[in-house]
Structure 1
Amino acid sequence: MVLSLRVTASLWPGCNHHAGALVARAAAFKMAGGCQASMIFWLFLLLAESYQTLAGVVTTRDPNPVADEFTAVSLSCITTYNPSGELRVEWKKLNAGTDLVYFENRLRGDLVGRAEVQGWSIHIHNVTRKDAAVYRCEVVRKEEGYLGDVSVNLTVRVRPITPQCTVPKSVPVGKTAVLTCNENEGYPPSKYIWYRNGDPVPDDPKSNLKFRNSSYKIDSTAGTLHFSVISKLDIGEYHCVAENVVGNAKCEPQRMEVYDINVAAIIGGVLVVVLVLLFITIVIRLAYKRGYFTKKQSEKGYQASSKADDVDYVRSNPVDNEGDFRHKSSFVI
């Protein structure tokens, strides 16, 4: 067994000092008089431990770092291998495409001026939402080739902005009403809380005496407050707060009024319209009877008949008739 370890050491360049340690530990087990089975078990554990060390595994302290926007974050890249040759480290940003972030011992792209390299790791002083992506650290031994790589998935949390709120100014009693609240900048996506006159509107109206007689449903994800049957008790100033783990933002309060439907006024308005239409009809009929519209038509007929008289007058001219007769008589002769 000791001989096999020495052979392995000779076939694995650059690892003689590790294999020598294994040989010494195996010899110690043999000199102690341990049984062959236990010796093989311990050698297996030693070889597994040695493989992890000799393989030069590239790893990271945090594969999924999370940072709030405009704060600092580190993308770590480390290895347990300590080669004698020089290493080349590259960082790549895997987003829509592949962008070089660190190459030839200097930072590239939009990290220039707001980040620095510490060892093999990248420390970003002022992270933005555009930095959220998967980064890959690749380590290469210049003399012996590729060593390994590790991926780091950076999540950037963003504070919500002031939401856009819509509140109807007035709604009739018994009708429906929908209040909306929305913002699209926060990450993780915001949850929405509605307030009436400074009091939070509960999900269940029966859980609070101030809202017990209200009939509504709240969608905290979509930001809607839907009244199915609105009443005078729902009058008040409403505003919405958008919040996530980073912070919150609210819109300005807007007042919603609720008014009664005046049935008598509606009926009275309809009667007025009917009376006006009836009056107009009577006036038009009287105008026809008194000949206002007929007189205009007769004047047009008179002009037409005058034109006809002129035509007949020209044709009945005795001089022209006589001249025609004489001309015809002389022609016959």
Structure 2
Amino acid sequence: MALRRRPLLLLLLVFPMLRYQILAVELISTNVNPVVQEFQRVELSCIIASTKTADPRIEWKKIGNKETSYVYFKNKLQGDWAHRAQLLSRTSLVIYNVTRADKAVYRCEVAAHEDTRIGAEISINLTVHVKPVAPKCRVPQSVPVGKSATLHCQEKEGFPEPTYNWYRNSEMLPLDSKSSSKFQNSSFKVDTKTGLLVFSEVQKGDSGRYSCRAMNAVGDAWCDDMEMEVYDLNIAAIVGGILVVIGVLSLTTVGICCAYRKGLFVNNKQNGNSYKTPAKPDGVNYIRTDEEGDFRHKSSFVI
């Protein structure tokens, strides 16, 4: 007899729970983590699985880091959403021309006043993938043999964050020169996360045109080719040039010293008082004679 009563007892215990679920508004979603490429369409799924209320109140909110804003409120799309969004099947939200600014958590809220549990909500985490733009690259134009060199490649628009590969003369470089027999004479490493190509000691064979590729899940982009020249450092020529300069400076110094000794840079001035011819007053004429020198007479003098 006790065994026969157990099924009935279990049914009585389960029935109130079933009855509560039927009277409670319930929401489900086919995808709570949608991923969409920028400028495409996305559906934020929010479906009323059960409700007793014929006309429940539906709201959509965008949950930001600093503020929460309405997307759908009082049976109307708000702000910019009115031009590029719509409600689908009464509760799901469709967004057209998605941008990177739309990346956020969206909350679907339903209030059903005739149900035992009158409110329910579900959160949708929208991820927007952005294709990389052309990265900015920096390549040294010339480097002497044996010196270190670093090539830079960076892109800040793509999401997820892109990874990087370097190419020389259109051929992709390995992550480590020592991992390939073709590049054994070189000494570089590629960091795919930071975009750095680092040479510990460049060689003549490292000369060429370098380009960088940034790529993520939705696309890739390249920077323009840039030439890097590796030149020999001629120590003998440098030393010879320095010796020539020193020799020229020495000869110039000796020449200047000799010129000073010979008095070429000394002003020739007469010693003692120099005789200065007295000024001739106006109205007086002078006649020059060998015996008397200047003979003064007035203009009125008559012979």
For Structure 1 versus Structure 2, the TM-score category normalised by the shorter chain is 0.7 to 0.9
In the other structure, the counterpart of 2:78 is 108
Query: What is the identity, as a one-letter code, of the residue corresponding to 1:172?
Result: P
In the other structure, the counterpart of 2:280 is none
- Of 67, 73, 77, which residue of structure 1 is paired with 2:36? 67
Q: Does the CA contact (< 8 Å) of 2:48 and 2:91 recur in 1?
A: no
In the other structure, the counterpart of 2:286 is none
- Of 20, 30, 55, which residue of structure 2 is paired with 1:86? 55
Q: How many residues align?
A: 272
- The alpha-carbon deviation at position 149 of structure 1 amounts to 1.4
- The alpha-carbon deviation at position 191 of structure 1 amounts to 0.2
- The alpha-carbon deviation at position 175 of structure 1 amounts to 0.5
Structure with higher RCO (Cα < 8 A, 6+ apart)? 2
In the other structure, the counterpart of 1:269 is 241
In the other structure, the counterpart of 1:254 is 226
Inter-CA distance 66–291: structure 2 relative to 1 (3 Å threshold): same
| Percent identity (aligned) | 45
Larger proportion of helix: 1
Distance 1:302 1:62 in 2: 114
Q: Does the CA contact (< 8 Å) of 1:196 and 1:236 recur in 2?
A: yes
Q: CA RMSD in A?
A: 2.7
TM-score by length of 1: 0.74
Query: What is the identity, as a one-letter code, of the residue corresponding to 1:38?
Result: P
Gaps of 5+ in 1: 1-29, 304-333
- The alpha-carbon deviation at position 247 of structure 1 amounts to 0.6
**Residue 122, structure 1, aligned to residue 90, structure 2:** no
- SS state at 1:210 partner: helix
Q: Deviations over 1:29-82 (max 9, x none)?
A: x9xx96223333344444444433332123322211111111111112222232
Inter-CA distance 99–43: structure 2 relative to 1 (3 Å threshold): same
Which residues of 2 match residues 1-333 of structure 1 at below 5 A? Answer: 35-95=4-64, 96-118=66-88, 119-141=90-112, 146-295=118-267
Q: Deviations over 1:78-117 (max 9, x none)?
A: 2223223521111111113111111121211222222211
Q: Following superposition, which runs of at least 4 residues in structure 1 exceed 6 angstroms of deviation?
A: none
Inter-CA distance 302–63: structure 2 relative to 1 (3 Å threshold): farther
Larger proportion of strand: 2
- The alpha-carbon deviation at position 273 of structure 1 amounts to 1.7
Deviates more, 1:245-254 or 1:185-194: 245-254
Gaps of 5+ in 2: 274-303
